[in-house]
Amino acid sequence: MTRRPLVAGNWKMNGLRGSLAEIKAMDAAYDDALRGRAELIVCPPATLIALARDIAAGGGIGLGGQDCHAAPSGAHTGDISAEMLKDAGASYVIVGHSERRSDHGETDADVQAKAAAALRAGLTPIICVGETRAEREAGEALSVVGAQIDGSLPADAPRHIVVAYEPVWAIGTGLTPTVDDVAEMHAFARERIEARLGGGKSADIRILYGGSVKPSNARELMSVPNVDGALVGGASLSAKDFIGIANAYR
C-alpha cells in the first residue's frame, strides 16, 4: 500500500493578505521529518493563491483551490476555471464541498464535471461526499455516500484523485462520528470507489476524513483504517493548529 497521507486545509471564505503569515509559518514548520510522513496543502481563497505560491515556492506546502467552473474559460461572470487555479500556483482543487452543494445547489453531475475539469487542467480534484444528520439518523449514510461516489467521480478518473468523506453534521460543529462509524464508512467508500472505477485504482486513492478535525482528535481519527488524511476547515486557519493536526503523522 503506497498511499501517502494528505492533510489539506480549507480556509473557505476566510483570509486576507495579512493571513499569508500563517501559510508562511506552516511552510516553515513543514520540515523534512514531516515531509517524509505526509503531504500538506492549504486551500486559501483564490485571491491569495498566487501570493501564497511565492511564499511556498520551495517545494514545501502545496496549494489548492476550493471550487472551479467546469469550463476552461468563457462568459461566466464571477467564476474561476481549473486552468486559472493551476496558473495561479494550485495543484489541487476541492470540488463538491457540502457548502457548495447546499449554498449553490451543486448536484453530483456538476461535481463530476468540475472534477473532470480539474483533471483536464492538470489539477488533482479532492471530491467531497457526506451525509446530513437526518440521513444518518434514518440509517441512510452509506447509501447516500455511495450514490454521491457513483455520481461525482468521473468514470475514467485516475488513481491520483482524492476523495474526502465529510459528514455534513460534523462540519464546523465540534461533533465527530465514532471511530467505528468512520471505519465503516471509509471501508465502504473504498469498495464503492473500486466498483465505480475498477482496475484496482481504489487501493491507491486517498480517502480523507473531514469534519471538526482538531489537534486533540487528529491522532485517533487518522489512525482509523482506510483514513488517508484529513480535510481541515476551521483549524487550518491557524498554523499552530494545522501543524498540530499534521503532527499526528510525525
Could you give the residue numbers annotated as active site? 97, 166
Residue 231 in contact with ligand PGA, rule: CB under 6 A = yes
Residue 65 in contact with ligand PGA, rule: CB under 6 A = no
Q: Which is nearer to ligand PGA, 70 or 213 (CB)?
A: 213
The nearest distance, CB 32 to ligand PGA, in angstroms, is: 27
Residue 154 in contact with ligand PGA, rule: CB under 6 A = no
Residue 210 in contact with ligand PGA, rule: CB under 6 A = yes
Q: How far apart are CA 50 and CA 117, in angstroms?
A: 20
The count of residues interacting with ligand PGA (CB under 6 A) is 13
Residue 162 in contact with ligand PGA, rule: CB under 6 A = no
Pick the piece of the chain touching ligand PGA (CB under 6 A) from 52-60, 74-82, 200-208, 228-236: 228-236
User: Looking at 166, 185, 207, 228, which residue binds ligand PGA (CB under 6 A)?
Assistant: 166
Residue 233 in contact with ligand PGA, rule: CB under 6 A = yes
Pick the piece of the chain touching ligand PGA (CB under 6 A) from 73-81, 84-92, 108-116, 232-240: 232-240
User: Looking at 212, 224, 246, 249, which residue binds ligand PGA (CB under 6 A)?
Assistant: 212
Region of 130 on the Ramachandran plot (φ > 0 left; ψ -120 to 50 alpha; else beta): left
Q: What are phi and psi of 225, to 5 degrees?
A: -55, 140
Residue 117 in contact with ligand PGA, rule: CB under 6 A = no
User: Looking at 26, 213, 245, 246, which residue binds ligand PGA (CB under 6 A)?
Assistant: 213
Q: Which residues in this chain contact ligand PGA in the complex, by CB under 6 A? A: 10, 166, 171-172, 210-213, 231-235
